[in-house]
Amino acid sequence: MIIFLVAFTFSASFACFQYSLSHYADDMYQNHTIQDVGRLLPTKIERIEKGKEADQIAHILKKAQSEGLKVSIAGKRRSQGGHTYYPDGVVLDMTSFNRILEIDKKRKTIHVQSGATWDDIQKALAPEGLAVKVMQSQNIFTVGGAVSVNVHGRDIKNESLSNSINWFHLLLPNGKIVKVDRQSEPELFKDVLGGYGLFGIILDVELQVTDDEVYEISSKKVSVEEFPEYVQSIRENPEVKMAYARISVAPKTSMDSMFVVEYHKTKQPLTEKLRKLKEDQQPFLTYSFLNLSRKTSFGKDWLWYLQEKYILSLDKTLISRNNAMRSESDFLLYKNQKNTDTLQEFFIPIDEYPSYVKDMKEFLKKDDINLLNFTIRYVSKDDSSRLSYAKTDMIALVALFNHGKQKQDMEKAQQAIQEMIDITLRHNGTFYLPYYPYASKKQLLEAYPNFNEFVKEKEKYDPNENITSLFYERYRNEN
């Protein structure tokens, strides 16, 4: 029974955690004050406008400019650093601009409006025997938002999302609509991919898709020392299509115990039972288990034991590609007046991993930051974005924290996370930008040496900064 319950807790990755917008719509937008899921940056805005048609979206942008108001672009608002709003500005909500426009089975492509979620896309693809190439490990995010942060996922062969994008239409700040691809607009393509919605409004996207396949799960324990060699071996194995790992943050086994989960291609037929998409299941169980881990060391030890036991029990289980990429529940619906959950993500060159883990272990021994989880993925070198987070083939470590909302709590969390970033940078690593901006400007520039070039590109396409965000202003203006 315990293992059954833990299945709901850990079947989906912590990497891109979410809150249900329907649960929190009123709370996130009351009295013209908006927040994102971290609930650390409440900001007064002028209004929210719903994008419904291309002409109407262009009109919203033009009207805001005539009123001297800044515009920020929002999908599901799962980022955590004020990426989707700006003080006294207009928030353009793209979630109603969400149609599936065309599926071409012969070319294996899907054309969608940018407010479509991965759930919408999977529901359209699954009956056709097709599947997404790259997406987050939860399916509630919009395509436009995913493009704007250039996501990566469990697929170890298809790299970041940028590699499955054929083209997109972009509404520029000056009102012009352009079709952007690698050949016709190579620099703008690099700006928008991982550009955090700062270069215009992504209207629609054509994505390459692939066949829905049947995978067999292989789960096992590995050591920290052998992990780099293990990563290389699965990269070279044509039968391993997806993989992820977790390393313990529980006190008894912290940064020592690891397990890995692989998805091996099989020749099994894609039956209707396997093809059927999984739906959300009992997120309150996740809340209960994780909440115990938030509060006690015992809870962390117990939770690691149970999730490891459950994951290892999945060995030999069959699953479709679509379901392997699909969250079982819209979970982590955590809401507390005194504290919050936040994410950070660190990227380390593969051969640095053992020494990095050693240094991180020493840090965690002396610091009492409430680290709840480390999920690990492989990320290939990627230069498709001007703000690329993968300077070489890297291992991504997604960290989930819990900390208080008071000023002193946030300052303490910032100090700890900046120390973790410093450790990462010493190991030639980088960190991801969709999360709360705890990093200093100096750390940002070390991880993203092209940031000043990024700013110059932004000034070229949007000299009046008609489209902006709290996130951009934070790093644009800091010395």
pLDDT at residue 158 in the model: 87
Burial 193-227 (b: 16+ CB within 10 A, else e): bbbbbbbbbbbbbbbbbbebbbbbbbbeebebeeb
> What is the domain class of 214-445 according to CATH?
alpha beta
Cβ contacts of residue 362 below 8 Å, gap of 6+?
A: none
pTM of the model: 0.91
Enumerate the domain spans of the chain: 100-211, 214-445
Q: Name the packing angle between helices 407-426 and 353-366 (round to 10°).
A: 150
Phi-psi bin for 87: left (phi > 0), alpha (psi -120 to 50), beta? Answer: beta
As a whole number, the mean pLDDT across the chain is 90
CATH of 100-211, one of 3.30.465.10, 3.40.50.300, 3.10.129.10, 3.40.1690.10: 3.30.465.10
Residue segments in the chain with a per-residue pLDDT below the cut of 50: 1-30, 282-283, 328-331
Question: Do residues 50 and 96 lie in contact, with contact meaning Cβ atoms separated by under 8 Å?
Answer: yes
pLDDT at residue 333 in the model: 60
DSSP letter, residue 371: E
Structure tokens belonging to residue 392: 């070489």
Alpha-carbon gap, residue 59 to 338, rounded angstroms: 41
